[in-house]
Amino acid sequence: MLSNANSFWDIFRGKDIYVEKDTVPPTKPYLNPVPEATKEDSIDITGQSETGIKVVLKIDGQKFQDTIADSEGKFSFTQISVGFLSQVLFVEAIDNANNVSNPSQTFTIVKDIEEPELEVTTPEDGETFKSTGRTYKVLGKTEPGITVNVNEQMAIVNTAGEFTASIRLEDGSNEIKIKAVDKAGNEKEEIFHITYEKID
pLDDT at 182: 95
| 0.85 exceeded by pTM | no
pLDDT by residue (tens digit) across 126-177? Answer: 999 999 999 999 999 999 989 999 999 999 999 999 999 999 999 999 999 9
What domains are defined for the chain?
20-111 (2.60.40.10), 118-198 (2.60.40.10)
For residue 40, pLDDT beyond 70: yes
- Summarised one tens digit per residue, pLDDT across range 65-88 is 999 999 999 999 999 999 999 999
**Which amino acid belongs to residue 80?**
I
Q: By the 8 A CB rule, do 184 and 38 touch?
A: yes
Q: pLDDT (tens digit, 9 = 90+) per residue, 5-23?
A: 555 545 555 555 555 677 8
Rounded (10°) CA dihedral 138, 143, 145, 146: -50
**Which pairs with CB-CB distance under 8 Å and at least 24 residues apart come from 122-128?**
123/176, 123/192, 123/194, 124/192, 124/194, 125/192, 125/193, 125/194, 126/193, 126/194, 127/194, 127/195, 128/194, 128/195, 128/196, 128/197
Answer whether residue 1 shows pLDDT above 50: no
